[in-house]
Chains A and B, each alone.
Chain A
Amino acid sequence: MSGQQSTTSTSIGSRLLDWSLRGYVVLVFVFIFAPILFSVVFSFNSARFPTIPLESFTLHWYQTIWNDPDVWTAVRNSLIVSVCTALIATLLGFCTAYTDYRYNFRFKSAYLALVLLPPTIPLIIMALAMLAWFSKIGASGQLWSIIIAHSVLTAPFAMAIIRLRLNQMDRDLESAAWNLGASEWRTMREVIVPFCKPAIVSALFLTAAVSFDEFAISWFVSGLNKTVPVLILEIVQGNIDPQVNAIGTFVFLVSMTLVIVAQIFFTFRAGKSFS
């Protein structure tokens, strides 16, 4: 579109500007993806202190973490936490999104603020608050303390995704189901949930991804039940250890897969609206 315009109305100068802008975008992407890329590359590099030129290819770091029972426990903990978080947060997000879609009531903006605020509060503050609260009610140091905290943190993401999907729903669809003899509950099961399915799947994956990577709150409230990011945090606090690159690559792989699956369901399935 802009290409056609520039051929008609412009000089080499602005062409050059356009291309340097595009080059700049590439630079920004390089900056953003460089750490991810290097982490992956170094995880296969034999040097104790990773730099260039690269030394030989090795699977040593992967063997190290494979044989480390702490890593296995952490992975197990992380999986439990992110799966449970995803389920709870998506359920909460769905309830909230539907309420926002369907109902108007007094204090609705306060209601929405209560739901949407958590991600805007720095994690370290949430971490301290959760730690204090959980020890007050005698629930700290458990895996489910992390799950609860993560659900608070991620429910807004689930809510947003499902709410956007509901926006694409024909306003008459729900009434049409009632009109054909479905009660409100039955309509929920037969119409609303099926319609939102791609967004629900997307929300499950995205909240799992956020939970899988979160380290500040987990670190504060987990006690001895370390998750993978907490384990990484503790290794990193010690010394430079290329093990981190291997674990990191694994973590990237998991969370990227989750995020990409979430996006595919969101953009390609949910984006297909009917007119």
Chain B
Amino acid sequence: MNQPLVTFDGVVKRFGDFTAVQQLDLSINAGEFIAIMGPSGCGKTTTLRMLAGLDQPTEGKIHIDGQLMNNVSPHQRDTPLVWQSLALFPFLNARENVEFGLKMRNQDAATRRKKAMDWLERLGVGEFAERNVETLSGGQRQRVALARSLVTEPRLLLLDEPLSALDAHLVIRMQSVLTRLQRELGITFVYVTHSQSEAFAMADRVVIMSNGEIAQIGQPRDIYREPANQFVAEFVGRNNIISGTVTGVSDSNLIIQSELGEFTVSDHNKVTAEGKDVTFVIAADLVEVSRSPMNKANSVECTLISEEFVGSVVTLFLESSSGTELKVQLQERELSTLDHTAGGAFYLGWDSDSAHLLPA
């Protein structure tokens, strides 16, 4: 693994007065599954479109496989894109849609047909080959679109929120289809999404963008456990973010005074001095909850506001006496021991190691 497959060097993209992407530096390795995530308007789709050549960078350079791509037209690249809208050609049937890229590469009809059928079958939609794409279901159309992009055997596949139009149960199915395909083919996936669950479930690395800039790059676990800044901590969600002032430093621990009370947070870098304002994050699933006071380094007494069930995971929304909202995530079976329907106080607690101090 020597040279990265894709590099962005100081790439800027402006549309008139609007800067969609500012100063983007990013390398993507061959065979990597990378997800670019962020709220709408953060520049993630523009980044993808620049890879496909549909938008040209205003400044900076994009290399693919060592070749400068800035002035290469879209049709001269081999960077197929799976569109959010799928963009299947409505006047062609499923097989003809898949053959399109091969036809543009002037392959003969028999080869085209064979490759198209192979891919449709591999993705489990071979039986619909001669059907009008408009008569297919969302999931089937999705597979046809994937087949159409993969049939030319590209080294790089771009995906622009491909699952956003699907029902929840189909999303999970397609996620495993995609990850399996990526492993089997060993090609690079660049996957743009606003869905954290999709990005974290599939990607090797996640790029989080905000206002045209990269907010953090890292493996899903790192981003989750150690957000680089408040934006990422909030965007990733299910984090409790607490701000306060350092009132004491002992060993690698900080004593932080906030309106919620006093907390102890590990500071392995030992760079924070007394009197400084700091923010730390405690992930909702690292908070323990009980009906009796806890013997933990940090604890808060709260009342329960509401609960939210997603599958077997429950999120409790609680409020401290100072009016701050806190979140706790736990397995549904743990909930039964809490007797959560009864009123009264809940006690939250966590170890000082569990909290993550945001870099100043």
Contacts and interface: CB of A to CB of B under 8 A. Distances in A.
A and B found bound together: yes
Contacts of B133: 274
A11 B74 CA distance: 66
B161 to A, nearest CB: 12
Nearest to A175: B54
Contacts of A178: 53-54, 73-75
Interface in B116-175: 133-134, 148-149, 152
A234 interface: no
A179 B154 CA distance: 12
B291 to A, nearest CB: 51
Question: Which of A175, A184, A187, A191 has the largest count of B CB atoms less than 10 A from its CB?
Answer: A175
Contacts of B89: 173, 176-177, 191, 194-195
Interface string B257-294: 00000000000000000000000000000000000000
A195 B75 contact: no
Contact of B100 (A170, A177, A183, A197): A177
Interface residues of A, number: 22
A179 B100 contact: no
Interface stretch (B78-86, B232-240, B346-354): B78-86
Nearest to A196: B91
Nearest to B81: A179
A183 B83 contact: no
B90 A181 contact: no
Interface residues of B, number: 28
A181 B104 contact: yes
Nearest to A171: B85
Interface-centre pick from A180, A182, A186, A197 (highest chain B CB count, 10 A): A180
A172 B85 contact: yes
Given A175-B54, A178-B54, A183 B75 contact: yes
A241 interface: no
Given A190-B100, A274-B134, A195 B90 contact: yes
Contacts of B360: none
Contacts of A175: 52, 54, 74, 87
A183 B74 CA distance: 8
Contacts of B148: 180
Given A170-B85, A274-B90, A179 B54 contact: yes
Nearest to B52: A179
Contact of B75 (A170, A171, A181): A181
Interface of A: 170-173, 175-184, 186-187, 190-191, 194-195, 197, 274
Given A170-B87, A176-B83, A181-B104, 6 more contacts: A172-B84, A175-B52, A178-B54, A178-B74, A179-B80, A274-B133
List the 8 shortest-distance A-B pairs measured between CB atoms, nearest first.
A181-B104, A176-B87, A178-B74, A180-B101, A172-B87, A274-B90, A182-B104, A194-B91
13 contacts: A173-B87, A175-B74, A176-B81, A176-B87, A177-B100, A180-B149, A181-B101, A181-B105, A182-B100, A183-B73, A183-B75, A184-B75, A195-B89
